[in-house]
Amino acid sequence: MARKKPNTATLVTESTALAYFAAKALAAADPLSLKKKKTQDFALDNFERAMTADLPGLSETLKKKLKAKTGTFTVADTAVIAMALAITLLEGESPQLRQLSNIAEKLLECLHANFSSPAPAGGKAKKLKQTDSVYQFKITLLGERLKIWRRIQVQDCTLDKFHEHIQTAMGWTNSHLYLFSNEFDRFGDPDLLNDGFHELECLDSTTEYLSDILPKSGDKSVFHYDYDFGDEWRHAILFEGQQAIDPKAEYPLCLEGEGACPPEDCGGVWGYVDFLEAIGNPTHDEHEDMLDWVGGRFDPDEFDAKAATMAMRKGFT
Q: What is the pLDDT of residues 184-233, one digit of tens each?
A: 899 999 888 876 554 567 899 999 999 999 998 888 999 999 999 999 99
Q: What is the pLDDT of residue 93?
A: 59
Among 119-133, 144-158, 282-296, where is mean pLDDT lowest?
119-133
* Residues 193, 309 within the same domain: yes
Asked if pLDDT for residue 157 goes beyond 80, the answer is yes
* Residues 305, 185 within the same domain: yes
- CA 309, CA 317: separation in Å to the nearest integer? 15
Contact 77, 39 (CB under 8 A): yes
Cβ neighbours of 151 (radius 10 Å): 19
Q: CA dist 136 to 208, 212, 240, Å?
A: 18, 15, 5
Q: For residues 25 and 178, which has the higher predicted lDDT (pLDDT)?
A: 178
- CA 35, CA 76: separation in Å to the nearest integer? 5
Average pLDDT taken over every residue of the chain: 83
Asked if pLDDT for residue 131 goes beyond 70, the answer is no
CATH number at residue 141: 3.10.290.30
* Residues 47, 162 within the same domain: no
Domain assignment present for residue 65? The answer is yes
Return the DSSP state at 11: H
Q: What is the pLDDT of residue 3?
A: 43
SS3 149: strand
Rounded to 5°, angle at Cα 195 from 191 and 200: 85
Q: For residues 27 and 260, which has the higher predicted lDDT (pLDDT)?
A: 260
Q: CA dist 298 to 143, 278, 280, 290, Å?
A: 19, 11, 10, 10
Q: How confident is the model at residue 126 (pLDDT cuts 50, 70, 90)?
A: very low
Asked if pLDDT for residue 260 goes beyond 90, the answer is yes
Its domain, for residue 74, covers 8-114
